[in-house]
Structure 1
């Protein structure tokens, strides 16, 4: 009768589907549930697919997600566009690239209403010149430049204040072989229809700026050291520049003349003055003046938050940020401004990336080094938690379980070099740990002082080990502690089994994983139900997906289980709400 014992509704090996369920094979050889297309789309928009995963390469994972996005758009285009806009507009994703890609797909949909909605949403998703260039490159993968697309791109330029368009023109001159000059020639706002009416009305101020751009003003000034192609005037005069009154005479925004003058400036001091007077961005400064402390001090005064995060290392290397300096005080003050962080849509991943790089004292792709200033490191640490906003504590007993298996060390979260899903999950778990006073953090490996499950896989005993990491530590130290752990098998039933054997009373289990579970003798949902039965606690399970794949270990039919996307800025709040029973 031994063959009859293999059918067990209460304990099923993860290498087999649970009887009576619609589980599917995952990429690791185990069985889990397939997430629906909308969940998969949300994962893709928030996590992206850069670097792929252990089980699927970048191209394969991207293709899978693109196919799912296409299905969602075909099924309900307006809903898909709303989802794209909400995630992009609210800054819920670390990178805007996936949202731009999906919007380009929607702008190329068969349904005319979907195409129109996507093009109407262009300014909300493509907020900078770089975003617009990326959209243009992607949309060319799916369609040609018809009248609606020309009008949609033209509106991006026409409906913004002329000063903002001018700033975009000098800051984002060219990316990936695309420029404002190219797009304006394609969109041609202000051109007449056959009936002689303007295709898209353009103000005189916009028209003059567009002429300057189309004649190569931005690119020519940068290449030729200050010859303004928009009117034949030189950008530098004896004893002065075209910035200011002469710009007004040309009918161009002042930032255009300041940019031309900066490209013609012969001294760093002159460049610093132009930066201070006109708020020029770093991209408007000549390369030879970008190693000067005075120029960087001027840039720091009005530097946008995202630019500040990217340039902390340079500011330190040139001496603007130093221990006890005004630059260090100012940078720390800006990083501590929660309202400014939110208004700038600064994502926690951007802060974590900046923190990891800055605290290391050396570049990821360069050989340049600097001495990190402790005040700035501490400010970045605080900014990481602040970027998630205020999270109301659930005040329940929470176990935070980190999947530190080998598969979680592959890929790049949001395309950040060196930031693996495993490292990111540790940082994300600390946000909930900082909120919930009664928590325990464990890792999927049978380490010293840990708990062994009694089963073995090809790596040895499976089990869990309490992790000595805390929000009171610097974030980089806590993440490094997890990075140094030995690999364990992916058995997501372990938290519930560990809690049961160790007598832990847990209200909410939160598992950070890629859901590529395969190693256990019992499925996670079966382990949770057994824990509920034996303890009498109506325990809940939150599965935080750290890879944009199509699987989840949470039973979609169980209201006490929830699958959410890792590193959505809303994740800690959703975890807390679910633990309180309000989600």
Structure 2
């Protein structure tokens, strides 16, 4: 596992995150074992095999100095990294000098003097590392915005936003220089800051666009840049929602929303679907349509659970050949209720769908649930407090097509546009059992306030595997606004709980479905 650390942890942020996870898994262990020390040390040494080599490591180490409570100096001391008097050794000594070891410092000085006299020193990795570290020191000590802007333009792409002193990050001139060569992902993340400085505002008197506005729009619409940056549609959706608000969550930044930027983000969102890898699996998506889905998503509070579920349903329908979508209710007690106006607005198509919807009747005796196949016991953690012997659990199909945009999908998932829904989160699996429908993956999107139902969700997927013979059918439960209640069996490797939601969750889901995790 540690031998693959360089492939998995592409930048220091990932390495620090990995170390943090290792610490949580074994909190009582104060030191690192030999294999762990060697694996982390090799992460730094393996930069020698990359195209840009140790100078790239110098760039990454100065850009991502600390994350998750760790610095490079901490890591070097924990892994006991060993180096020679080369480019990597110079870099390690720069970040973690051996205080009190005068002999080592004297050796470094003498080695550098010898290296400078050698032929080819000007093109050596050591010289490039020395020059880069000097550049970063100069940037760190700069307090003039014009000099800083000139340095950014002159030494691009070696200077990133993280190398700029904090006091200069409020300068419009500095941001003008940064925008020109800023990676697309970083640009999207900083749209609010850039807009707050007035750089993306059009000249209303002359009806002309600023150079920065044109540049940003072009970058957002560039298919090549989006693909190379691996920008997921969910990331663009979050950026669109955040930018459209005109202020950040804390309220410290405010900006004038530029419709050209909003339109570019929206266009990029839909075009980015073309770069999402398909799995070739058969999907059943179950979306909670209860009122509590208006809660904000953990990890991405800018959007609601309903927005996230609709966006992910649209993504799956557009990228997978076989995908069905149904609605269930996570409300405890009664079904979704609507006022008279909402009831009157239900379309003829929805009435027909309601008449054709599946009704799963579950009858219960003392301690077993009877449905097609052998009886299965209730899950110990989900007691059934209601008599469900005469209660109907109804599923509503949601007819999402690959041509639907997000607004249309949100309308189709709106409780006011659907007939009353009384199905619990296990009903989609029970329906698939009864109708002998073939699915490889079940994905449940809920706010994590599930209706208890007649059978626990983890027991329903086990029954589905037994009845259909699809023994590797997988279950993913996305608890978008988790309350700490788990719906899956932690001992089953074919079940996954997602708590909260962000683009990282999507990557984990894809790896899980394809059997890579």
Fold shared, TM-score > 0.5 on shorter chain: yes
Say whether residues 1:423 and 2:361 are aligned partners: no
1:429 CA displacement: 0.9
Q: Distance in 1 between matches of 2:511 and 2:128?
A: 49
Say whether residues 1:305 and 2:184 are aligned partners: yes
2:39 maps to which residue? 152
1:269 maps to which residue? 146
Out of 156, 181, 192, which is 2:73 matched to? 181
Counting only pairs closer than 5 Å after superposition, residues 2-17 of structure 1 correspond to structure 2 as none
Out of 376, 379, 383, which is 2:261 matched to? 376
Q: TM-score if structure 2 supplies the norm length?
A: 0.60
Q: Secondary structure at 2:10's aligned position in 1?
A: coil
Q: Deviations over 1:526-568 (max 9, x none)?
A: 9xx9xxxxxxxxxxx9965313986469xx9xxxxx9788863
Say whether residues 1:136 and 2:4 are aligned partners: no
> 1:154·1:187 contact (CA, 8 Å) conserved in 2?
yes
1:335 CA displacement: 3.0
Q: Deviations over 1:64-94 (max 9, x none)?
A: xxxxxxxxxxxxxxxxxxxxxxxxxxxxxxx
- Note closer, same or farther for the CA distance 1:159–1:441 as it changes in structure 2 (3 Å cut): closer
More displaced, 273-282 or 323-332?
Answer: 323-332
Say whether residues 1:213 and 2:90 are aligned partners: no
Q: Deviations over 1:448-482 (max 9, x none)?
A: 32549799x99x99766677988777647865996
Q: Distance in 2 between matches of 1:546 and 1:428?
A: 11
Q: Distance in 2 between matches of 1:216 and 1:273?
A: 35
More displaced, 302-311 or 347-356?
Answer: 347-356
Q: Deviations over 1:294-353 (max 9, x none)?
A: 211211222223312211111222133335333333333333344443443434433332
Q: Secondary structure at 1:159's aligned position in 2?
A: helix
Say whether residues 1:289 and 2:168 are aligned partners: yes
1:404 CA displacement: 2.4
1:533 maps to which residue? none
More displaced, 134-143 or 363-372?
Answer: 134-143
Counting only pairs closer than 5 Å after superposition, residues 68-147 of structure 1 correspond to structure 2 as 117-118=1-2, 120-140=3-23, 141=27, 142=29, 144-147=31-34
Q: Distance in 1 between matches of 2:16 and 2:42?
A: 15
1:167 CA displacement: 0.9
Q: Deviations over 1:409-455 (max 9, x none)?
A: 66845x22354554322101112444589998664465532549799
RMSD: 5.3
1:268 CA displacement: 0.9
Q: Distance in 2 between matches of 1:145 and 1:421?
A: 40
- Note closer, same or farther for the CA distance 1:543–1:207 as it changes in structure 2 (3 Å cut): closer
Structure possessing the higher relative contact order (Cα contacts under 8 Å, 6 or more residues apart): 1
Q: Distance in 2 between matches of 1:256 and 1:265?
A: 14
Unaligned runs of 5+ in 1: 1-116, 190-199, 218-229, 232-244, 500-505, 530-540, 557-561, 578-583
Q: Distance in 2 between matches of 1:332 and 1:573?
A: 32
Q: Deviations over 1:225-268 (max 9, x none)?
A: xxxxx99xxxxxxxxxxxxx9x9997744332222222222321
2:86 maps to which residue? 204
Q: Distance in 1 between matches of 2:72 and 2:279?
A: 47
Q: Secondary structure at 2:143's aligned position in 1?
A: coil
Q: Distance in 2 between matches of 1:252 and 1:319?
A: 37
- Note closer, same or farther for the CA distance 1:442–1:138 as it changes in structure 2 (3 Å cut): closer
1:568 maps to which residue? 506
Unaligned runs of 5+ in 2: 48-52, 100-107, 110-121, 203-208, 330-335, 362-385, 464-472, 499-504
> 1:322·1:373 contact (CA, 8 Å) conserved in 2?
yes
Q: Distance in 2 between matches of 1:263 and 1:215?
A: 19
Q: Distance in 2 between matches of 1:381 and 1:349?
A: 11
- Note closer, same or farther for the CA distance 1:156–1:268 as it changes in structure 2 (3 Å cut): same
Q: TM-score if structure 1 supplies the norm length?
A: 0.54
